[in-house]
Amino acid sequence: MRGETAAKVLNLLADGVPRSFKQIVEQTGLGQRAVEGALRRLSLKGLILRTEKPIRKRIKVFRGRAGITQTLRSYHLYILKPKDRDVVEYQGLRFVRVKKKRVERQSKAQIILKFLEQNKNRAFYSKEIAEALRERGISKQDVMTNVRRFERKGLVYVRGYRAHGRQTPFKEGYLISWIDQEKPRDQAIKEAVQRTEKALAEERASMPILSRIRRIRDLLIEALELKDIVSFDYIKNKLGCTEHETEVAIKRAMQLYSDIKEVKIFNLLRYFYLSSMPEEELKKAIRRKENYIRKVKSRENRIGHNWEACVEFFIDNFTVGAKFWTQAHRTKMDPRRITIHLIKQIKGRKMNAEVDRVWEVTPGPLLKPTIYVLECKYGLVRKRDIDDFFEVLRWSKEFGADGPNGRELKQGVVGVFAARAFDPKEKVRLRDETLITLSQYAARMNIQLLKASDFNQKLRERGIPKEVTVQKICKIARDEEQVREILEEIWEKPERSAKILEHVIEKNKEIYEFEKMLERRGE
């Protein structure tokens, strides 16, 4: 069998074209181990030559929404050895016989394996192993090249972040620990995992991300004892981090600990728990949070709905010929809020989704109307918010259609996203590595952006003083109806706008006190 494998490799290389290990595996149809063994035997017999130095090539890998990542690949090329020469120059590459170097590589594997076995009661980062064995000729590449072979043989346990069916290293490389072959397999693996856990704990002080991960797990263990679930905002406040830092820490924690789970309440608010929580206790915790949110989040809901009415006022007053869609609802929901139908599930929305306003503008008697679909968010908007809105539109029956490039918006449909502000620091990386702003990214998807500052500019042009803003109106108004009343009144009497707001604040004092009381009773 060995002879047949070597013969296949020699027949492939007989055309004189250099090939890499990966190409030989693909073109012969042989397994990686078989090709590896054949190349070693043929090299030692002097039948093939190998590039004198490894070729290092940086390749780009497209990972969907995660964007494009780069990785450095090192490899050799192999060529058939001429009868009369031990060295061949080909297209600027130097091919030589492999003798000592192959023996050295085997000895490197033995050095690394012996080091791990002698220190079997510890776990090491790959960089630590390379540093400890540097004087013996071991490099970083040598460590992981050999460790992956040991892992396939079941000799070592390798730990990193789990992400989409693969592993990524920690800052100091992968964590590696010996699996004791003399103990029962289950026990040996369990002890190896515990050693890596101890190494992570010791590293927390110098690596903030590991400290945050440990803190997140501690919060979830505490919540498990209290039969509770933990919100994203609660974790952020406890860590004392920015939203982005908290997002990264939670993502890494879920990659490191598979028992950390996420649940969305009302398909919007993110909560976390440990999978060891009994199903019945989890359901009870979710119901408690839902009841809590209905009360405590009333202020946020009030302001959010007020923002919709505010945007509607400006559209109604500054868009010539705008005709709003209406829809009858069983609840007291505003008839101008429109429920649309989805043909596939979008982030928890199975059959339907809601958009805040839809209006048509007909430019002329013989022209088709343009349909504008509005999404409002009173907060800082990021790329993921725009992506979510676009997905809802294009997968809806009303506004999406199948096109030559897949699902897209129907012709004549324009998305409008209105927010208090859009993250000015966020940049979007395209496939060609170009960085563009959030507004440029939205424009590519035919989505227009409206900001609170745009509406405030209209107030200034009307002669309304700068202390009167749409943000302040949204915060103090009792409901959407009062927002419209305030805007209409200050529009007609701009010189009295400040007094009008003071009167509204005095009138709604009881509402503010009630909301504060609910917040004090919350988490």
For the segment 180-218, what is each residue's pLDDT rounded down to a tens digit? 888 898 898 889 888 988 887 776 555 778 788 888 988
* Residues 505 and 402 reside in one and the same domain: yes
Q: Are strands 413-422 and 447-451 parallel, antiparallel or unpaired?
A: parallel
Q: What is the arithmetic mean of pLDDT over 148-165?
A: 82
**Confidence band, pLDDT 50/70/90 cuts, at residue 102:** very low
What CATH number does the domain containing 247 carry? 1.10.10.10
C-beta separation of 358 from 373 below 8 A = yes
What is the residue range of 478's domain? 298-520
Q: What is the reported pLDDT for 522?
A: 44
Number of domains in the chain: 4
Residue 445, both tokens: 């998807």
CA torsion sign for 264, 269, 273, 278 is: negative
Q: Which of 296, 302, 239 is nearest to 269 (CA)?
A: 296
Say yes or no: 419 and 511 in one domain. yes
C-alpha 480/C-alpha 335 separation (Å) is 12
Does residue 77 register a pLDDT over 70?
Answer: yes
pLDDT at residue 370, as a whole number? 92
481-514: pLDDT as tens digits: 899 999 999 999 999 999 999 999 988 887 777 6
Residue 100 has pLDDT above 60, yes or no: no
Please name the residue that has the structure tokens 């460590």. Answer: 143
Q: Which among 205, 228, 256 is the end of a domain?
A: 205
Q: Is the pLDDT of residue 178 over 50?
A: yes
Domain's final residue, options 296, 316, 334: 296
What's the pLDDT at 41?
Answer: 85
Mean pLDDT, residues 342-369 taken together: 85
pLDDT of residue 66 exceeding 70: no
> Contact, 310 vs 483, CB < 8 A?
yes
Q: Same structural domain for residues 396 and 305?
A: yes
In the chain, how many H helices and how many E strands?
19, 26
- Identify whether residues 420 and 306 lie together within a single domain: yes
What is residue 399's three-state secondary structure? Answer: coil
Choose one of 205, 235, 262: the last residue of a domain. Answer: 205
Residues 138 and 285 in one domain: no
pTM over 0.75: no
Are 129 and 150 in the same domain? Answer: yes
Contacts of residue 392, Cβ cutoff 8 Å, sequence gap at least 6: 340, 342, 346, 349, 353, 355
Spatial CA neighbour of 422 closest among 440, 448, 459, 449? 449
Claim to verify: residue 373 and residue 502 sit in the same structural domain: yes
Verify that 191 and 283 share a domain, yes or no: no
Give SS3 for 331.
coil
Question: What is the spatial distance between Cα 456 and Cα 450, in angstroms, rounded to a whole number?
Answer: 11
Within this chain, do residues 164 and 292 fall inside the same structural domain, yes or no?
Answer: no
**pLDDT, tens digit (0-9, with 9 covering 90-100), for 279-306:** 999 999 998 888 777 665 667 778 888 9
Strands of 345-405, DSSP E: 352-355, 357-361, 370-381, 400-403
pLDDT tens profile 357-405:
999 998 877 788 899 999 998 888 888 899 999 999 999 999 999 988 8
16 torsion bin: left (phi>0), alpha (psi -120 to 50), beta (else): left
- If asked whether residues 362 and 217 sit together in one domain, one would say no
d(CA 295, CA 288): 11
Q: Are residues 190 and 116 in the same domain?
A: yes
31 and 166 assigned to the same domain: no
Write out pLDDT tens, residues 438-471: 888 988 888 999 999 999 999 999 999 999 999 9
The DSSP result for 432-487, as a single string, is TS-EEEHHHHHHHTTEEEEEHHHHHHHHHHTT--TT--HHHHHHH-SSHHHHHHHH
Q: Kindly state the average pLDDT of the residues 326-352.
A: 83
Share the mean pLDDT of the chain.
84
Q: Tell me how far apart the alpha carbons of residues 161 and 200 are, in angstroms, rounded to a whole number.
A: 12
What type of residue sits at position 388? D
Q: What are the CB-based long-range contacts (under 8 Å, 24+) for 492-498? A: 494/462, 494/463, 494/464, 495/463, 497/464, 497/465, 497/468, 498/465, 498/467, 498/468
